[in-house]
């Protein structure tokens, strides 16, 4: 045991732990998962079948056994795979507790399971599907900025830092959100966010917006030329900083200037 603990700072320790953890999760999953999933056939119907099982364990209590919706959760018929991928892939679903808004949290399903869930929900009724990679790239940052300021900045702020909505709801920060999830949010309109379907916001516009969000929320592509961003939330944080640090420093200097120089000790 002592040997083990001595090596826990070894550079490879993290890797070893990771492998063990993955193995544990895998075997746990194998033990819990229905046995017929072992068959290598990855056909669509199997995906749906798997998704349905996952759904019944994790989702049915709120969304109903057949996804018809209950008082605790809306119907999922016709919401499409994109909605599932967004909600579950950002950890918003399964929801933990009722509140003004379901926030993003730790994701508890792996992407394979999310795909299965999405396939199941998609099978219930036609809806927006998860995007493929080519739908997410090739946008123009400048055009995206223009579209972002027309469609998105009013809630998510000019720099994608997020903002307040009514009654405790809020538009979340867009920093670190993957292109896929941005796309899915636009096309499905999760929670109180309105949707921006392809019929009124074409695919290219979405690519442009994704390009802009990726650009503007990433400090490598969008440096804060003038210094600290102070949260990119406009003049409020600037005012606070000015009062506390700039004026504070100046008052400190004034105190130094006016302070008595120490007198020589009487000996």
Partner 1 sequence: MSTHISDATSGAHEEIGHSEAGVEQKHLGEKSADWVDGRLGVYNLAKANLRKIFPDHWSFMLGEICLYSFIIIILTGVYLTLFFNPSMGEVVYHGTYTPLQGIKMSEAYKSALDISFDVRGGLLIRQIHHWAAIVFVAAMLVHMMRVFFTGAFRKPREINWLFGFLLLFLGMFDGFMGYSLPDDLLSGTGIRFMEGAILSVPLVGTYLQMFLYGGQFPGNDIIPRFFTIHVLLIPGIMLGLLVAHLILVFYHKHTQFAGPGRTEKNVVGMPLMPVYMAKAGGFFFLVFGVIAFVSAIASVNPIWEYGPYRPDQVSTDAQPDWYMGFSEGLIRIMPGWEIRAWGHTLELGVFIPLVIFGLMFVVIAIYPFLEGWITGDKREHHILDRPRNAPVRTGLGVAWIAEYIILLVGGGNDLFATHLHLSIDAITWACRVLFFVGPVIAFMVTKRWCMGLQRRDKDKILHGRETGTIKRLPHGEFIEVHAQLPQEELFRLTAHEQSAPAELPAAVDENGVKRKIGSITKLRAKLSAGYFGPQSQIAKPTAEEHAEITSGHGHH
Partner 2 sequence: MTSQDNMSEEHLPEAAHGHGGGPVVSKDGYFADPGLPPHEHRRTDIDEKAARRAERQVAMWFLLSMLATVGFIASYVIFKPGPTHHVFIWPIGNVSPLNFALGVTLGISLFAIGAGAVHWARTLMSDEEHIAERHPIEATPEVREQVFADFRQGSKESGFGRRKLIRNTMIGAMAMVPLSAVVLFRDLGPLPEKKLDTTGWKAGMLLKNMNTGEPIQASDVQVGSLTFAMPADLSEDDEDFQERIAKDALMLVRLQPGDIKDKKSADWGYHGVLAFSKICTHVGCPISLYEQQTHHVLCPCHQSTFDLSDGARVIFGPAGHALPQLQIGVDNTGNLEALNGFTVPVGPGFWERSE
Q: Which residues pair with 73 in a beta bridge?
A: 70
41 scored as a contact of partner 2 (CB under 8 A): no
**62 annotated as a binding-site residue:** yes
Q: Which does 192 bind (CB under 5 to 8 A by kind): partner 1, partner 2, none?
A: partner 2
Q: Does residue 127 interact with partner 1 by CB under 8 A?
A: no
Contact partner, 195, from partner 1, partner 2, none, Cβ < 5-8 Å per class? partner 2
If one asks whether residue 242 binds partner 1 (CB under 8 A), the answer comes out as yes
User: Among positive and negative, which fits the CA dihedral 107, 108, 110, 111?
Assistant: negative
* Binding residue for partner 1, selected from 16, 19, 24, 236, defined by CB under 8 A: 236
Interacting partner of 241 out of partner 1, partner 2, none (Cβ under 5 to 8 A depending on kind): partner 1
List residues bridging with 100 in a β-sheet: none
Question: Burial, 33: exposed, middle or buried (Cβ in 10 Å; 0-12, 13-18, 19+)?
Answer: middle
Radius of gyration of the chain (CA): 26
Taking the complex as a whole, how short is the minimal distance between the CB of residue 244 and partner 2, in angstroms? Answer: 17
Distance CA 94, CA 113 (A): 13
| Binding of partner 1 by 185 (CB under 8 A) | no
**Is residue 200 a contact point for partner 2 (CB under 8 A)?**
yes
96 touching partner 1, by CB under 8 A: no
Closest of 223, 105, 170 to residue 162, by C-alpha = 170
The closest of 74, 72, 66 to 120, measured between CA atoms, is 66
Q: How far apart are CA 164 and CA 169, in angstroms?
A: 6
Question: Which CB atom, from 6 or from 258, has the smaller least distance to partner 1?
Answer: 258
59 is in an annotated binding site: yes
Q: How far is CA 237 from the centre of its chain?
A: 24
Q: Is residue 196 a contact partner of residue 206, using CB atoms and an 8 Å limit?
A: yes
Give the C-alpha distances (Å, rounded to integers) separating 92 from 45, 84, 98, 191: 26, 10, 12, 10
Q: Which is nearer to partner 1, 192 or 222 (CB)?
A: 222
| 180 is a site residue for partner 1 (CB under 8 A) | no
Residues that bind partner 2 (CB under 8 A): 147, 150-151, 154-155, 163, 165-166, 169, 171, 189, 191-197, 199-202, 205, 219-220, 223-229, 256-257, 260-264
Binding site for heme c: which residues? 59, 62-63, 152, 155-156
Residues that bind partner 1 (CB under 8 A): 100, 141-143, 145-146, 149-150, 153-159, 161-168, 170-171, 212, 215-216, 222, 224-230, 232-243, 245-247, 249-251, 253-255, 257-260
């Amino acid at each position: 045991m002592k040997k083990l603990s001595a090596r826990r700072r070894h550079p490879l320790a993290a890797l070893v732990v990771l492998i063990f953890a993955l193995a544990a999760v895998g075997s746990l999953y194998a033990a819990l998962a229905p046995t017929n999933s072992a068959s290598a056939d990855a056909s669509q119907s199997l995906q749906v079948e798997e998704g349905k099982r996952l759904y019944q364990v994790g989702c049915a209590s709120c969304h109903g056994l057949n996804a018809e919706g209950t008082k605790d959760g809306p119907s999922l018929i016709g919401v499409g795979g994109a909605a599932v991928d967004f909600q579950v892939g950002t950890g918003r679903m399964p929801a933990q507790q009722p509140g003004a808004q379901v926030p993003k949290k730790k994701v508890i399903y792996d992407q394979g399971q999310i795909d299965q869930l999405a396939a199941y929900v998609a099978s219930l009724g036609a809806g927006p599907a998860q995007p493929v990679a080519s739908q997410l790239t090739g946008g123009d940052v400048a055009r995206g900025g223009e579209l972002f300021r027309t469609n998105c900045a009013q809630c998510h702020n000019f720099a994608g830092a997020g903002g307040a909505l009514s009654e405790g709801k809020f538009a979340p920060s867009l920093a670190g959100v993957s292109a896929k999830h941005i796309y899915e949010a636009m096309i499905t309109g999760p929670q109180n966010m309105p949707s921006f379907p392809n019929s009124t916001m074409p695919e290219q516009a979405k690519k442009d917006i994704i390009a802009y969000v990726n650009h503007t929320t990433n400090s490598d592509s969008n440096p804060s030329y003038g210094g600290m961003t102070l949260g990119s939330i406009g003049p409020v944080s600037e005012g606070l900083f000015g009062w506390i640090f700039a004026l504070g420093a100046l008052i400190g200097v004034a105190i130094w200037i006016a302070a008595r120089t120490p007198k020589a000790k009487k000996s």
